[in-house]
Structure 1
């Protein structure tokens, strides 16, 4: 039976069952398999259970849906961020799968892909973020190679117009790249484990790390995936779970758990097929989040409200 952990969320004791995730990696790869098989090659589906006790409504972290926008159902979302450019707000999205990975500039209202850079077929694209000097930094999964694009050298009238500025090599605990975000001082990186690393933005070398923990530091939460930074905290997807975790960047402690199960249901996807919640973008101008998932038809504009 899966253990249950007592988590203190904003001073409120909450019983949250977070199933321990089991990852089975396939050792062989093939470039001729279908997209779903391609995904299974990367990460096998895991069993998970969750239960939540009855609580007063005022104690529950709220996910308030403000709007919905169209999303490409062929996009295997790995990274998701909001960028303000030329007085206009846009999405930058990275997608995965061997032979289908890309970096995209997307119109928010229409979901139209305005620009796209297709990665070489040997790369499985992962997270992306906007770093110093208006550079987009994107990770790859197994190659230990990061890609740096110049956002300011794109044009609105031509696809494949992102300019690849340079590549860099990186190391993580698992040897993989998953999520990445930038807090103004460090790149913050996940690798599928419970560890979040902080990189120097100029050397791309680790300067410190934290482990994501619940139950007063007694239980690590692995499979930390897509990342975002907002108002001094790290927000993270957990692979194959319908939650967004709010994490203390100094200690790794989970301070709030937002349940997005209703959005997963509304999206009308089969998460067991790989169409999981993955994609968190924070807009600091409007103080809202945009969330989506792999192969989802919608992007949700939401407000994440902590308990009072």
Structure 2
């Protein structure tokens, strides 16, 4: 019960959305919340471990057509195509040095990426990572995924935002809550079997969100996934990156500047 209490306290954060700042910034403060046993908490087991570029500040991660696509932040921010087996970067494109890359997804045969504070999104050809176009959106861009029709965007605040997949214009929002209390710091997103899975920035947790209601319906505890973090910054080098291989039913996760990418499966809820 104490572990559940601490987990709930870590997830229920202030509604203000602090920026994804460099390591000098303090981690966001947590508010205490009652433990809620009704929301299942899952552990994980590692199926296989793969190499990952330890200098990749992972912001977005997806699996498409047998390869990983990854967006990274900092300068230079990149869009890259990565071979799973050895972590080799097969292709990459750098963003303008003034831009800080963020979330990534694929819809209608195009890769779509966000930037942090500039309100610009970009469209890419997945075959050669050629830039196809750009679009604008309001506010910050953090994570990005799609339900196959709409884009689903996180901006650090305790809600999900929806954009029309064709026009890329806003079509709605839904607040994200755990036990009736709003949960912010939603970072990298992935659509998995009708749910939005989201990293909670600067924590070791992924939450499973019902996109219709915004209710958190499950929590995944990855505290022990990378036990040796010697030399890594606990504020910056955090869990971030979820990719789902729908055909193979494989789940991949990694972190910012992590040396490994993991294929995992969930273990029983507690």
3-state SS, counterpart of residue 224 of structure 2: helix
CA distance in 1, matches of 2:184, 2:265: 25
The C-alpha deviation readout for 1:215-246, integer Å capped at 9, x for no partner, is: 1x2x1001110000011111000111100101
Q: Which moved more, 1:204-213 or 1:139-148?
A: 204-213
2:22 to 22, 34, 39: 39
State yes or no: 1:135 paired with 2:118: no
| TM superposition shift of 1:276 | 0.5
Q: Pick closer, same or farther for the CA change 1:209–1:306 going to 2, 3 Å.
A: farther
Instruction: Determine if contact 1:289/1:304 at 8 Å carries over to the other structure.
Output: no
CA–CA distance in structure 2, aligned partners of residues 294 and 214 of structure 1: 26
- Give the CA deviation at 1:44: 4.3
1:283 aligns with 245
Q: Deviations over 1:52-88 (max 9, x none)?
A: 99x9xxx75231210000000110000000011xxxx
Aligned to 1:32: none
Q: Secondary structure at the residue paired with 1:207? A: strand
Q: 1:25 to 1:235 in 2, by over 3 A?
A: closer
> Which residue of 87, 90, 95 corresponds with 1:111?
87
Pair 1:96-2:58 in alignment: no
Matches within 5 A, 1:219-258: 219-258=181-220
Task: Report the equivalent of 2:48.
Answer: 67
Matching residue of 1:10: none
Aligned-pair distance for 1:267? 5.4
Cα deviation, residue 307, structure 1: 3.3
SS in 2 for 1:245: strand
- Unpaired runs of 5+ residues, structure 1, are 6-13, 27-36, 155-161
8 Å Cα contact 2:61-2:104 kept in structure 1: yes
For 1:34, the equivalent position in structure 2 comes to none
RMSD between aligned residues: 2.8
**What displacement does 1:205 show?**
1.2
Of 239, 242, 263, the match for 2:225 = 263
Residue number in structure 2 paired with 1:8: none
Counterpart residue number, 2:234: 272
- Report the alpha carbon displacement of residue 265 of structure 1 after superposing the two structures with TM: 2.1
CA distance in 2, matches of 1:293, 1:52: 28
Correspondence 1:78 to 2:20: no
Which of 102, 121, 135 is residue 168 of structure 1 equivalent to?
Answer: 135
1:273 CA drift (Å): 4.0
Q: What is the alpha-carbon distance in structure 1 between the residues aligned to residue 115 and residue 263 of structure 2?
A: 27
In the TM superposition, what is the alpha-carbon distance from 1:38 to its structure 2 partner?
6.9
Larger Cα-atom Rg: 1
TM-score (normalised: structure 2): 0.88
CA contact (8 A) 2:17 2:155 kept: no
Task: Specify whether residues 301 and 269 from structure 1 end up closer, same or farther in structure 2 by C-alpha distance, changes over 3 A only.
Answer: farther
